[in-house]
Amino acid sequence: MTGITAERDALPRAFEDSCSHCGSELADGQEWCHECGAARTLIHRPPDWRIGLAIVGVVAAVAVLVFVLVLSNVSSSGSSSPTARASATTIAPPSKQTATGAVPGWPVGLGGWTVALGAGTSHAAADTRARAIAADGVQVGVLDSNLHPALRPGHWIVFSGRYPTKAQARAAAAQLVSLGHAHAHALLVGRPA
């Protein structure tokens, strides 16, 4: 029985030490068969270089597409003229005088830029000035500076329009100056206290 066991034990060792292609015996640690040149260990082929190149190409194409979309959005938003943009974002001016002749005031609870056309220390004086300017076709209103902490208190200011930016208020002021209102200037009206 010992002979059969020895043969069984020797069988796997002999199988391990032979070339899987030609069956030639291989020494311990020998990686290549001297008879057929086959490798004892499995050698994997390197990955295909075209796969990496394809991935890089797709990422670059997506980046270029995003860049073109952003560029087209920026150029289309900047293509309108400054006057067209200003009129599109201008907040409505004060309403015309009512049938009773009252001059409208500043919109309740709001801040913003406006064009100051004059000021007086009394409401009546400011209303008189506002009516004279309104006779020229300019929409005007009167605001109480005491209600707006950023303004010097004790004045009634004749104003025209309400704008979201200083640049738009300055453009409107320049237009009013060209119409003969020499003291027109941009003014920031803060939110009421």
Which pLDDT belongs to residue 64? 94
Percent of the chain with pLDDT over 70: 76
Which residues have a Cβ under 8 Å from the Cβ of 43 and sit 6 or more positions away? none
The residue whose two tokens read 């008189």 is 128
Q: Where in the chain is the domain with CATH 3.30.70.1070?
A: 91-189
pLDDT higher than 60, residue 92: no
Instruction: Assign 5 a pLDDT band (cuts: 50, 70, 90).
Output: low
**DSSP letter, residue 105:** B
CB < 8 Å & 24+ apart, contacts of 148-154: 148/106, 148/111, 148/189, 148/190, 148/191, 148/192, 148/193, 149/190, 149/193, 150/188, 150/189, 150/190, 151/187, 151/189, 151/190, 154/121
Candidates 128, 191, 121; CA nearest to 162 is: 191
pLDDT higher than 70, residue 98: no
Which of left, alpha, beta for 46 (phi over 0: left; psi -120 to 50: alpha)?
beta
Cα–Cα distance measured from residue 192 to residue 155, given in angstroms and rounded to the nearest whole number: 15
Candidates 109, 192, 122; CA nearest to 158 is: 122
Q: What amino acid is encoded at 153 in this protein?
A: P
Range 91-189 classified under CATH 3.20.20.370: no
Global model pTM greater than 0.75: no
Mean pLDDT of 177-184: 88
Candidates 191, 188, 156; CA nearest to 170 is: 188
Mean pLDDT of 125-153: 88
- The CA angle 95-98-101, to the nearest 5 degrees, is 125
Which pLDDT belongs to residue 59? 95
Question: Among 27-31, 125-129, 181-185, which is the least confidently predicted range?
Answer: 27-31
Q: Which helix (H) or strand (E) holds 83?
A: helix 82-89
Question: Among 73-87, 105-119, 170-184, which is the least confidently predicted range?
Answer: 73-87
